[in-house]
């Protein structure tokens, strides 16, 4: 998802700083793809579950590229946390990366944007509006991202616009049974799964949309959130 979003933004001429945790080789390959499009690109390692590294990611992007105009909070982790077996550590880790990391990156980016202004685009999830018993902590983290988006939009107006994109059935977890994926797709009004490119197009919209649009959540879910 992050790679496709980065390529879409670069396709519109944006220089891109990529944050990664463990996927260093993939991040470097993406940087090469971005540079081939004629833009500047760097990859910066950070564990967004650690506050100092989340802030350092933004500082590093500004140091390497000179400024920041658009922040896309895409980093997230996703794993099962059934009520009967979930641990406090698992819950805390999901909140730390998916929600607190987005907050800290947004806080640092807003300071870097300053009076010049800019855009913050959060990646939420249709799971913010639907209860998944096996993924309670993940759903809580993404519901928090929705409220974070609204709170930041109110706090940072008028200079910085903050919106969110909520993907639906776009990327299934690694190892997820294909047959189960097809059953899920059959329940969606559009009767199919989406693509990362659909999400990237929505991110590009918020990166370039009129400044009067802020605090909005755009679900890219084939209609799943309305049934």
Residues catalogued as catalytic: 138
Tokens of residue 78, six digits: 């996703």
- For the residues of 123-164, what is the DSSP string, one character each? E--GGGTS--TTBHHHHHHHHHHHHHHHHHHHHHTTTEEEEE
b/e burial code for range 141-174 (CB count within 10 A of at least 16 → b): bbbbbbebbbebbeebeeebbbbbbbbbbbeeee
Phi and psi dihedrals of 117, rounded to 5? 85, 180
* Long-range contact set of residues 148-152: C-beta below 8 Å, sequence gap at least 24: 148/99, 148/102, 148/103, 148/106, 148/122, 149/122, 149/124, 149/215, 149/217, 150/215, 152/106, 152/110, 152/120
CB neighbour list of residue 103: distance below 8 Å, 6 or more residues apart: 148
Separation CA 103–CA 16 (nearest Å): 20
DSSP-derived letter for residue 116 is G
């Amino acid at each position: 998802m992050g790679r496709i979003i980065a390529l879409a933004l670069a396709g519109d001429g944006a220089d891109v700083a990529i944050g990664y945790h463990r996927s260093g080789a993939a991040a470097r390959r993406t940087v090469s793809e971005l540079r081939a499009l004629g833009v500047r690109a760097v990859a910066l390692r950070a564990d967004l579950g650690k506050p100092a590294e989340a802030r350092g990611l933004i500082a590093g992007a500004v140091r390497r590229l000179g400024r920041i105009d658009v922040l896309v909070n895409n980093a997230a982790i996703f794993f099962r946390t059934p009520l009967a077996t979930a641990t406090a550590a698992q819950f805390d880790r999901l909140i730390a990366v998916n929600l607190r990391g987005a907050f800290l990156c947004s806080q640092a980016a807003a300071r870097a944007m300053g009076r010049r202004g800019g855009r913050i685009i959060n990646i939420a999830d249709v799971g913010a509006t639907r209860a998944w018993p096996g993924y309670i902590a993940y759903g809580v983290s993404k519901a928090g991202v929705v409220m974070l988006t609204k709170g930041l939009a109110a706090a940072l107006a008028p200079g910085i616009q903050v919106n969110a994109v909520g993907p639906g059935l776009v990327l299934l977890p690694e190892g997820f049974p294909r047959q189960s994926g097809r059953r899920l797709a059959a329940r969606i009004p559009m009767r199919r799964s989406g693509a990362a490119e659909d999400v990237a197009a929505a991110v590009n919209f918020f990166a370039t949309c009129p400044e009067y649009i802020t605090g909005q959540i755009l679900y890219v879910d084939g209609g799943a959130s309305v049934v």
